[in-house]
Every structure is written in C-alpha cells, then in structure tokens.
Structure 1
Amino acid sequence: MIEKTYNVLFICTGNSARSILAEGLLNEMGRGRFKAYSAGSHPKGVVHPLTLQTLAAHRMATEGYRSKSWEEFAQPGAPVMDFVFTVCDQAAGEVCPVWPGQPVSAHWGLPDPAAVQGNEEAQERAFRAAFVTMKRRIELMLALPLDKLDRLAIQQQVRAIGAPAQEVA
C-alpha cells in the first residue's frame, strides 16, 4: 500500500525565518510522508542568513530556500495543500487566499527571531529557540495517526499542538 504524501504550507509575513525553518524541519523529519513549503503574505525577498545558519548547525539542507509570496500557492497548477499553518500572529490575522482542497489549518505562532535586537549571540539564541519549538511541534504532528483520524479530529489535534500549553520550556 502506498502511503499518502501530505502537502503542508507554512505561512509567515516575511517568509525569511520561521516559515523557512518549519519548511526545512518538516521536509527533513517527515520524509516520504510530508512535503513542506513556505510562503509569506509580504515576503522580504531574501532568506535571513541566521535561518540558513541554524539549519546548517543541525545538519539540515540549506539549498533551494527562497522568500516567496503565498500567492504562488493559490495559483492554478500549484500543489494542493493538506495543511496550512500560520507561524506568526500578523499572518494569522490577515485574509489568506482561498486554498484549493480546503486544507486543515492551524496557528502555530512563534516570536520572530529576525526581529530580535542585540548582539549576535542573542540573535542566534532566538533562532535556536524558534527551531527547537518548531521541531517539537512537528514531532507532535508526525506522531498523529493521520490515517486513522477524521478531518475534525485532525483539525483539533494540530490546533492543540500550536496552543501555548505545548510550548517547550
């Protein structure tokens, strides 16, 4: 039996840090079961260098990432998403495009590591914290028996994953 591959879109405003980290993590951890993408409502046009440095520090691929608009995924011929996650509060409050296929959606908000002021160590710490939190959320999602749950149960479970009680200390 061939297992379904789920398409997942992570959305942020700038598509330079959090959503790229999530894309990299899910593509690495969910190989075969998930194909992750990322996009922004107002993409910065460039991936933050500490995003790529953080991925590299965890021995993950750093090639092929780019900051792009969510409109790419609302166009005809774009991959049909099974899941759409907002990872920043601003994107969660914006009016998203209509996604074909009515994907399951949830808000997995994280503080923006790219917005951290201070020295390089403080900035790197913020990126590591975002990476660890997103990794934990993805681990929880990967543990869900998606083939055994109905749409409503899946919706409830993925929303619970992003709830504050699930935060990593």
Structure 2
Amino acid sequence: MDSQEEKLLAELESVQRDVRINKYKLDEECARQSTLYLYYSDLLAEAKDSEDEADDALDKVLGVVEMKLRDSPPEGVKVTDSTIKALVAKDDEVDKAKEKLRKAKKWKYRIEGIVNSMGHKKSGLDNLVVLWSRGYYMSDAGTPRTGADEASERLRGNLNNRKEGEEKK
C-alpha cells in the first residue's frame, strides 16, 4: 500500500463524516459544502496528476526496454515485432510501472467517487433547504420537530380528551 492509499484510508472516517448531512444545522452544512468540495476536488487533481506521471513513466520504461531488446536481443531469439512485444510485456520493470499506473488509477477513481458524493450532498442540501423553508422541519413554535414532539402531542391530546370526558360527568 502506498502513501496515497494510506492517506485515503486514514481519512475514510472523515470522508464519511463529510458526506453526512445534519438537517438541523443546514446553515453550517451549506457553509462547509464549498470548502469540502474544493478540498476533495484538489485531491482529485493530485490523483489525476499522479496518474499522468505513472502513465508517462510506463511509456518511458516501455521505450527503454524495447530499445535494449532491439540493441541486444537474447541469444537464439529471432528479432521480430511480435517477439519484442512479448519480451517487453514480461519484463519486470514494465510490470512495476504498470502496477504503479494501476494504483494511480485506483486512487483517482476513489477520489472521483468522493467528489461525486459531494455533488450529491449539495443536491441533498438544496432539497433540504427547500423543505426547511417550507416549514417541513419546524413545529408551531418554530423549533425543529422530533419524534418526541409528535408523541408528546398525541399524549396531550389523549389527556385532554380524557379530561373533557370527566368534566362532562
């Protein structure tokens, strides 16, 4: 595992926290959203740069190995394009460069997923703000509603009904 993967795994809990929305603190969530998006977009730019560097390094290794094989081919091997291609493909340096490229792509895909999640969070925030502005999360007193509020209202209603029944007697 390279340093980029270790960094991402260490931040995974933070990423999960960053993607969550507290619907009762929409002002704070909205204020943080652009900063979080910028942070993860910057990580994505770094990941894309790492992928480009790994791709360039692979191209360089492929060229060097191919030139070595063409300049001094193994004994008893007929030098054809297909033989050179096969020998290049099984070279250890080429394998290492390909592995670095795969890791860079994996890192990039993970960060792309996080950036996409941040986009989904923004959409969710937009929808929650609309719901909030229409009073969906507010009680009559203007405070956030909870399940306890609803249970309390039902209990009061039941007690009031019982009290009215006793007064009529």
TM-score with structure 1 length normalisation?
A: 0.24
TM-score with structure 2 length normalisation?
A: 0.24
Larger Rg belongs to: 2
Flag the structure with more relative contact order, 1 or 2, with Cα contacts below 8 A and sequence separation at least 6: 2
Structure holding more helix per residue: 2
Structure holding more strand per residue: 1
